[in-house]
Structure 1
Amino acid sequence: MENHDQLRELEEYRAHHHPHLIAQRLEEGPDSVYLKEFIYGAVDGAITTFAIVAGVAGAGMSAGVIIILGFANLLADGFSMAVSNYLGTKAENQHREKIRQREMEEIEKFPEGEVEEVRQIYARKGFEGELLEEAVDVIVSDREKWVDTMVQEEFGLSLQNHNAFKAGLATFVAFCVVGFIPLTTYVANWIVPGFISEPFLWSALMTVVAFFWVGAMKGRFVDQHWFISGIETVGIGGIAASMAYGVGVLLRGLVG
C-alpha cells in the first residue's frame, strides 16, 4: 500500500511538472491568494465581537445592549480594518513601483554599478568564473528582467501586484460573516423571544467552533496540521474573550 501511494504521488508530481504546464505557470505568474486577509478579518471579527458579548454579559447588561454594540463593532471595526488593509496593500504596490522606477533610473545613469550589483548577487549564490559572467550578461541584456532581479534580490520584494480592493473586501467580508456568529443567539432571541434559553453559553460554543474552523482552514493552506492550527486559534480567541468577561465582571458595579 505504501509503495502504491508513493508511486501515485510521484505520478502527480510528474504530471504537475510537465514542461508545458511549467511554462504556463511561469507565464501567468502566481495567483493572488487573499488567505492572510481572510484569516486576519475572520479571527479579529470573532474575537472582538465575542469580547463585546462576553464583556457585556459579564457586566450583567441586557441582550439589547449586546446586539447594539455587536453590530456597531461589526460595521465600524470591520470597515476600519478593511480600509487599513486596502491602504496597506496599495502602499506596498506603490513602494514596489517606486523601487522599480529608481532602479530603472540607476541603470540608465550608472549601468556599470548596477551590473556589479548583479554580479555580486549571483556570486553569493555560488556562481563563479565564466558561468558567473554569462549569467550576468543574460540578466542585464533585458532591462525588465534586470530591474525584476534588483527588486527581488536587492530589496527582497515580491514582484506580485496584489489588488488592494480585493484585499480590503476579503477582510471586511470575513470580519462581518465570522464576527456575526457570536451574535446569532441574541439576534435569534430578539426575533423569537425565549427561543434559546442560554444565549451566552451557545454563543460561546458557536464562537469556539468558528475559531476552530478558521484555524483549521488556515492550517490546510500553510501545511500545519489542521487540528493543531484550530486549537491554536481557539486558545488565542479564548484568552481575549476571558479577559473581556473578567473586565465585565470586575466593573459590573459601574453599570448600576
Structure 2
Amino acid sequence: MPTPSRESLLEEHHPEAVRKRLATPVKASTLPDAVLGGIDGCVTTFAVVSGAFGAGFSPQVALVLGFANLLADGFSMAFSNYEAGQAQLAQITSTERIERQHIDLVPEGEREEIRQLFHAKGFEGELLEHVVDTLCSEPDRWVATMLQEEHGLSSAGLSPLRSALVTFVAFLVVGTLPLLPYTLTGLETTSQFLASLGLAGIVFLAIGMLKSAVYGLPAWRSGFRTFLMGTAAAGLAYSTGYFAQWLLP
C-alpha cells in the first residue's frame, strides 16, 4: 500500500473534509466476510473433490458432491454469520437496557464510572468534571459512552444481513472454481484433479495476497500461509477418502 503524500493528508484533514467524513454513516468492512466465505468455499469444495479422488469416485460423483456441498455449506455458513451478527445486536440492546436502568436507579454511581473511565485516559481536575458533566447531561450520549468505553460495544455499521449475503456470494463464487475442471468431460480424471488442485492453489494465494494488499501487510507471507492452510485441508480430505476406500470393502 503506497504511503500518502503530506499534501493529500493535509487535504483530507481540512476541517470541512473532516466534518463531511465524520458525518457520513459508518459502514463495517465486508472484506472479512468475503475472505472468510471465499477461503472456506474453496477449502470445503476442494476437500470434497480431494476426498472423492482419493476414494476413487467418478468425476460425475465428485461434481455432484461438490455442488451439493457448495450450496448446503454456503447457506449454512451464511446463516451462521447472520445469527452471529444478530446475537451481537441482541447483546448491545440488552446491555443498553441495563445501563439505562442503572442510570435511572443509581445515577451518581454511573457518573463515577464515567469519571474513572476518563481519568484513566488522562483527564483530571476541572477538565475531568467538565467532561463528566457534558457526557452525562444527555441520556443517549451517556448510554452510548458507557457501551463504548465500559463494554467495548458498538453497533455502528453492523449489518447481519449484509455480512451473510457477502459470505454466501463469496462462498459460491470462489467455491465453484475447483469444480470447473470436472465440467470438462474431455479430460482424464487425474488431469481434472490436477487442474482443480492448480486452481485451488491459485485461489488460496490470491485471497491471502489480496487481504495483505488491503491492509498493507507482506503479501507473499499471507498468501503462502493461506496456501498452506488450504493444502493441509485438501490433504486431510484426500487421505480420508483414500483410507476409507482401503478399509471399507
Q: TM-score, length-normalised on structure 2?
A: 0.93
What pairs with 1:1-256 in structure 2 (closer than 5 Å)?
9-189=5-185, 193-194=186-187, 198-254=191-247
The amino acid of 2:236's aligned partner reads M
For this pair of structures, how many residues does the alignment match?
248
Supply the RMSD in Å over aligned alpha carbons: 1.8
Amino acid in the other structure paired with 1:43 = I
With 29-38 and 66-75 compared, the bigger mean Cα shift is at 29-38
Measure the CA separation in 2 of the matches of 1:108 and 1:23.
34
Q: Which amino acid aligns with 2:136?
A: V
Give the residue type in structure 2 aligned to 1:144: D
Q: Which runs of 5+ in 1 are unaligned?
A: none
Partners of 1:85 and 1:210 in 2: CA distance: 22
Task: Using the TM superposition, name which of 145-154 and 219-228 deviates more.
Answer: 219-228
Residue type matched to 1:113 in 2?
G
- For structure 2, list consecutive stretches of 5 or more residues without a partner in the other structure: none
AA of the residue aligned to 1:166: R
Greater displacement, 25-34 / 51-60: 25-34
CA drift of 1:195 comes to: 8.3
Instruction: Judge conservation of contact 1:74–1:180 (CA < 8 Å) in 2.
Output: yes
- Cα distance in 2 for partners of 1:227, 1:148 equals 41
Q: 2-side partners of 1:149 and 1:179: how far apart?
A: 42
- TM-score, reference length from structure 1: 0.91
Which deviates more, 15-24 or 220-229? 220-229
For the residue of structure 2 that corresponds to 1:251, the secondary structure is helix
Identity fraction in percent? 40
The amino acid across from 2:139 in the alignment is R
SS in structure 1 of the partner of residue 56 of structure 2: coil
- My pick for the range that moved more, 126-135 or 177-186, is 126-135
Whole-Å separation in 1 of the counterparts to 2:170 and 2:52: 23
- Distance in 1, matches of 2:108 and 2:216, equals 44
Cα distance in 1, alignment partners of residues 67 and 155 from structure 2: 39
